[in-house]
Structure 1
Amino acid sequence: MKLEDLRKDNIGQIYAWFPKKGKDESSMLLITYPYYSIKAFYFSCQNLEQLEQSKDIINQGNVSISAVGFWFLAIEAFINTLLKIACFLKDKDFNEFRGKQINGRLTAVFKLLKMDNKDFYNSAIFPKFQEFQNYRNEVFHDRFFNSEIKFHKTSFSSIPYLANQVDVVQASIIALEIFQAFRFIYPALDLMPDIFIEKNSSYGFIKYDVLYNQIILPLFSEALRKHTLNTDLITEPIDIRLPESSILRKGDVQIIMPAFQKENIVHSPNSTETNIAANLFNKVHDLIPINEQEYFQIPRYYRVE
């Protein structure tokens, strides 16, 4: 079997299902923001744990940008999910909105669902998200050029690619605020991301807002306290919860997860224990000269004649 074929396995993926439109795949909508949220959460925890376990120097984390990036992906996918569901329910073509800026897509959600947007836009959530968007663009498009970036509503790094745990937690807070604001707008649904948590030989799911309060925030706070550090970051999220749309009814949309693999893409791995990666890394270690003077080796960005 080709490894490429396994990408079509949808077991464990989350879908929005519209019962009135049938029972086949045309009545289902793939939802990706839970996947990005899970990645973002675990990258964030890894980064915070690296701070906690700092020894000789403060470890500012080696997955900061990855964590921040996945939080932004989670937010944008969440907003798109809100809009895609609204389009399904109102028989609108999502392609009419996909090219709009994020604010335009949010506006479309409010209009299609006939919801009042005052509470959301009167809060400080959207200005924070706009700064998050600017920060993300600076990093993802490599736009930094000598002068530092000024952020007024958030605590993102003024030199964006030099991110650390402050940027990670700031991103996680903005994500939480947006998830919280829109989590109940569809009747009978709670769209707050469920995070995959292992327990013994099994697993379960816990809502992200619970994990922020019980893991991310205390881990960040205790790690700072351990190393006698502090921060200006405001760690209390803005709590705005928009009411459900009045034009929809319970059952118009449901969330489902396929429980069975497609037979034609089932493939069992070889369970033999191997050390291919470790052996290959051990071999390349020999390419690094021993530095008897114990100076840092620097990268060589020049030609060897």
Structure 2
Amino acid sequence: MYLEDFRNNEFDRCAILIPSIPHSIINLKYDIYSSHAYKFTVTSLRDLELSVNGLNNGIDAVPALNMWYLSVNSFLETILKILSLKTGITDNYSDMTIEVKYRRILNMLLLENSILEDKLYDKLSDFTLIHKNLHMDLNDKNKLLFKTANFSPKPFFINQIDVIQSMMIAVEIFQNFRFIFEGLDLMPNIPILTQTEKCVFEKLSVLQSNVIVPIINDILSKHKIKTKLIYQEKFKQFPTTSLFENKQILIISKNVEDEKYKWKLNSLQTDVVSYYHFNLMKKYNGREENFYRNYQAQNQKNITEDKTKNIKKPNKNNFTRLLNITEKIKNYFPPDRADLSRNDSADLQSVHAKIV
């Protein structure tokens, strides 16, 4: 069996189903995107927390912002698809920006555009602007102007503030439309591992208020840094629409895995990834100054020459050797960045240990 075959494994897939309307299955992709976005957000904050010689802007800042944007976009499009099935109003939603989708939903639900809605519309416009320009190579002299959101004028230099701002916009959108359909809670569910290595799901709003906010507070306090961003806001909820009655919209999931995907895996605990990085690091010892960032072609051979051919490779038939170097690896690698080490959150005290 090929690894590519597992792309078709629909185990744990979630979708929306409207039984009264044929062919009405809508995949809940925003749940998956939000899970990735949350993980990138946590690792980006950990980079800031563990900064020593200089402030680390977070290597996962860009993917975190991108995934929050995808989450919002997918969430709004899911709602539009549901409303379209009921109202018969169809448009090419894929060509709309998130702020246009937001305004379209308000109109379809006959919700008035208050000052708060207009402000969120501007935030979404700002979100679209920075997301779009992250994929463009702007001149350094060009600075983006934002109406409301606290985003970097130069997208190439984003950091944890841009990530937090992205998450706050996402949570606000999710909270606004959380209960618009009778009997459904559309707030994304984030998978996390407990201290007993069991997977549980927690609502993003709970993680945001009980984990992310105290994490930010403690990290800023640790490094004596402030931020202009207000990241502890409370968001409104729109009323439930009368377009659907209770149980007219269902959320279904595939909880039983197909037999062909129940592949027998090797249960031996190994750390192949760290092993090969550890071996590569041997060539840097005592010569770190020779391995700086370099783009000069004439020095390329001397500085970037691959010395790994002399590194002894592990016996592929004896993976237990990998277990013996665990302690050595710890000297070279930081703690598991996907680990949520805080345990003082009121609602998650015995739950959050690691992010899936």
TM-score interval, smaller chain = 0.7 to 0.9
1:215 to 211, 219, 222: 211
Task: Please state how far the C-alpha of 1:132 moved relative to its aligned partner.
Answer: 1.2
Task: Please state how far the C-alpha of 1:235 moved relative to its aligned partner.
Answer: 1.4
TM-aligned CA distance change 1:263 to 1:69, over 3 Å:
same
Task: Please state how far the C-alpha of 1:84 moved relative to its aligned partner.
Answer: 1.6
Deviates more, 1:262-271 or 1:226-235: 262-271
User: Does structure 1 retain, via aligned residues, the 8 Å contact 2:181–2:241?
Assistant: yes
Deviates more, 1:28-37 or 1:266-275: 266-275
Q: Does 1:271 align with 2:267?
A: yes
2:191 partner letter? F
| CA RMSD across the alignment | 2.5
1:161 to 147, 156, 159: 156
Per chain length, whose mean CA-contact separation is higher, i.e. which structure has more relative contact order (CA < 8 Å, sep 6+)? Answer: 1
Q: Does 1:83 align with 2:65?
A: no
1:37 to 30, 34, 39: 34
In the alignment, the residues of structure 2 paired with residue 138 and residue 123 of structure 1 have an alpha-carbon distance, to the nearest angstrom, of 23
TM-aligned CA distance change 1:257 to 1:301, over 3 Å:
farther
User: Does structure 1 retain, via aligned residues, the 8 Å contact 2:106–2:113?
Assistant: no
Task: Please state how far the C-alpha of 1:14 moved relative to its aligned partner.
Answer: 1.4
TM-aligned CA distance change 1:122 to 1:16, over 3 Å:
closer
Task: Please state how far the C-alpha of 1:238 moved relative to its aligned partner.
Answer: 5.5
In the alignment, the residues of structure 1 paired with residue 202 and residue 99 of structure 2 have an alpha-carbon distance, to the nearest angstrom, of 29
Q: Structure 2 matches for 1:84-99, cutoff 5 A?
A: 84-91=81-88, 93=90, 96-99=92-95
1:56 to 50, 53, 56: 53
Task: Please state how far the C-alpha of 1:288 moved relative to its aligned partner.
Answer: 5.7
In the alignment, the residues of structure 1 paired with residue 285 and residue 114 of structure 2 have an alpha-carbon distance, to the nearest angstrom, of 61
* Corresponding pairs, count: 299
Task: Please state how far the C-alpha of 1:274 moved relative to its aligned partner.
Answer: 4.1
User: Does structure 2 retain, via aligned residues, the 8 Å contact 1:125–1:238?
Assistant: no
TM-aligned CA distance change 1:88 to 1:264, over 3 Å:
farther
2:97 to 96, 101, 120: 101
1:264 partner letter? K
Deviates more, 1:155-164 or 1:145-154: 145-154
Deviates more, 1:129-138 or 1:265-274: 265-274
Q: Which residue is equivalent to 2:173? A: 178
TM-score by length of 2: 0.76
In the alignment, the residues of structure 2 paired with residue 286 and residue 142 of structure 1 have an alpha-carbon distance, to the nearest angstrom, of 37
User: Does structure 1 retain, via aligned residues, the 8 Å contact 2:72–2:98?
Assistant: no
Other structure's SS at 2:16 match: strand
The CA deviation string for residues 227-272 of structure 1, in whole angstroms up to 9 with x for no partner, is 1111111113352211121222111111122111123333232223
Q: Structure 2 matches for 1:248-259, cutoff 5 A?
A: 248-259=244-255
Task: Please state how far the C-alpha of 1:284 moved relative to its aligned partner.
Answer: 4.3
TM-aligned CA distance change 1:11 to 1:57, over 3 Å:
same
Q: Which residue is equivalent to 1:194? A: 189
Task: Please state how far the C-alpha of 1:66 moved relative to its aligned partner.
Answer: 1.2
Deviates more, 1:263-272 or 1:200-209: 263-272
TM-aligned CA distance change 1:84 to 1:298, over 3 Å:
same
Q: Which residue is equivalent to 1:2? A: 2
In the alignment, the residues of structure 1 paired with residue 220 and residue 96 of structure 2 have an alpha-carbon distance, to the nearest angstrom, of 40
Other structure's SS at 1:19 match: coil
Q: Which residue is equivalent to 2:332? A: none
Q: Which residue is equivalent to 2:18? A: 18
TM-aligned CA distance change 1:144 to 1:198, over 3 Å:
farther
Task: Please state how far the C-alpha of 1:88 moved relative to its aligned partner.
Answer: 2.9
TM-score by length of 1: 0.87
Task: Please state how far the C-alpha of 1:182 moved relative to its aligned partner.
Answer: 1.0
Extract unaligned runs of 5+ from structure 1. none
Q: Does 1:73 align with 2:70?
A: yes
TM-aligned CA distance change 1:60 to 1:100, over 3 Å:
closer
Task: Please state how far the C-alpha of 1:91 moved relative to its aligned partner.
Answer: 4.6
2:241 to 230, 245, 249: 245
TM-aligned CA distance change 1:91 to 1:209, over 3 Å:
same
In the alignment, the residues of structure 2 paired with residue 295 and residue 88 of structure 1 have an alpha-carbon distance, to the nearest angstrom, of 62
In the alignment, the residues of structure 2 paired with residue 111 and residue 128 of structure 1 have an alpha-carbon distance, to the nearest angstrom, of 18
In the alignment, the residues of structure 1 paired with residue 138 and residue 257 of structure 2 have an alpha-carbon distance, to the nearest angstrom, of 43
